[in-house]
Amino acid sequence: MESKGSTVLMERYELGKLLGQGTFAKVHHARDLKTRLNVAIKMIDKEKIVKVGMIDQIKREISVMKLVRHSNIVQLYEVMASKKKIYFVMEYVKGGELFNKVAKGKLKEDVARKYFQQLISAIDFCHSRGVYHRDLKPENLLVDENGNLKISDFGLSALAESKRQDGLLHTTCGTPAYVAPEVINRRGYDGAKADIWSCGVILYVLLAGYLPFHDSNLMEMYKMIGKAEFRCPNWFPPDARRLISKILDPNPSTRISISKIMENSWFKKGLQLKPIKDNADSMLKDAESKEAALENDDAVFSVCENTEPKPEMAKPAHLNAFDIISLSTGFDLSGLFEERNKKREVRFTSRQPAKTIISKLEDVAKRLKLKVMKKDGGLLKLEGSKEGRKGVLSIDTEIFVVTPNFHFVEVKKNSGDTIEYKKMMKKDIRPALKDIVWTWQGDEPRTQQPEEEEYLQTYQRDSFDTDSPQNAL
């Protein structure tokens, strides 16, 4: 890295070339002026993440990366901030994405097995810390100069405390071709089992050079995933075929566990999972001060939180690709997994601002004598005051942003009697919301405005991949 004319960040890091760029951040190669260690610095624009309500997501990513210090995971060294930027100082992985290797064709069996062994070791460690990655794919796996795997991009990860009362995660996220069937069906899922499925897809890709589930028609691809319809090429070793079939089991309750994968004879062949010694050791000698810096990461967000208007009501979450697909009746995936008359949620779209939608929901709750509890991410919980046949009725309403003038709302029974819930929806809630509802999902939709039509078509057409690993958010 040339020092002449170079930029020095926070009087500590000499900035080098741009490695990647996304909507909210840029990633630069840099060098620690004191230790001369090469690092990657993700520079996040504070103003942009405030506008889209991503502060909690960034905080969660920091918390997760503090927990998962493993030789096969990209390390977060420290977090710094200026008035306009947040800086993640991370381990620099020189070799690039594993995806680039697979894009040239299938890997040799021993090479694929080595990467898979390191992947499973790192994911097992994450799960032992209560962390679920939820977006595992070759683009989020880096390879260092010694040929060792490094998992990156924990932006969509979840902590164990993110589980709801049913003990499951409910946020539908990830990259479609790698996502587990139970994630698609929106009924709640075990984060560990969903990660295992993604690992199975990755193993298939490493050995085959292409995806097990792929179709230009998203609905057809989801049908293939839901039924685990795939075929192994004839060059797959028999024991690798058997292992993949156990991992890509569409039933999460019978899907193989990580401990069983580690006992598998094909997996154990040539296994060497020793601590990796690399240049990061020199940085980690200063562990105590780095840990102290990470412990104080809340200060990083003080400027964000001071500039953000104090919300008096729940803030809507931004709609992800899976939710957008379900806005179109032709792309409603629920029929793949359940009978329509057994669905516990209803959904509608609205052209009203979020403030109006929330206010209306609060008015309805007040009339029906329901208690309102607000949470982050546009979630309002409506709870009855009396015990019903099956306990107290609890209804979750979640608001998502599609465009600033277009919102998607899901109303779902969380607990209580289903008959009581359906009766209340039909006689009370739906009629009361008629002045803010643009269309109920399943009803005959009104003519789409050009803005919404273009937006939905774009998301239905795209691959929905998140940004590349050491690239920006």
Active-site positions? 135
Nearest-angstrom CA–CA distance, 402 and 319: 6
Nearest-angstrom CA–CA distance, 236 and 90: 37
- Please, which residues have CB within 8 angstroms of residue 134's CB and are 6 or more apart in sequence? 156, 157, 158, 169, 173, 174, 191, 194, 195
User: What 3-state DSSP class applies to 50?
Assistant: helix
User: Residue 95: what are its φ and ψ, rounded to 5°?
Assistant: -75, -15
Query: How big is the CA angle at 389 (ends 431 and 429), to the nearest 5 degrees?
Result: 10
Q: Are 314 and 379 in contact (CB under 8 A)?
A: yes
Q: Are 40 and 136 in contact (CB under 8 A)?
A: no
- On the 0-12 / 13-18 / 19+ scale of CB atoms within 10 A, 170 is middle
- Please, which residues have CB within 8 angstroms of residue 283's CB and are 6 or more apart in sequence? 32, 35, 37, 39, 77, 290
Nearest-angstrom CA–CA distance, 127 and 195: 9
Comparing C-alpha atoms, which of 255, 126, 254 is closest to residue 201? Answer: 255
**What's the gap between Cα 129 and its chain centre?**
17
Nearest-angstrom CA–CA distance, 263 and 308: 51
Ramachandran quadrant class, 413 (left: phi over 0; alpha: psi -120 to 50; beta: rest)? beta
For the record, the structure tokens of 225 come out as: 């995933």
H-assigned helices in 269-409: 280-284, 287-295, 302-307, 321-327, 354-367
For the record, the structure tokens of 90 come out as: 């991370």
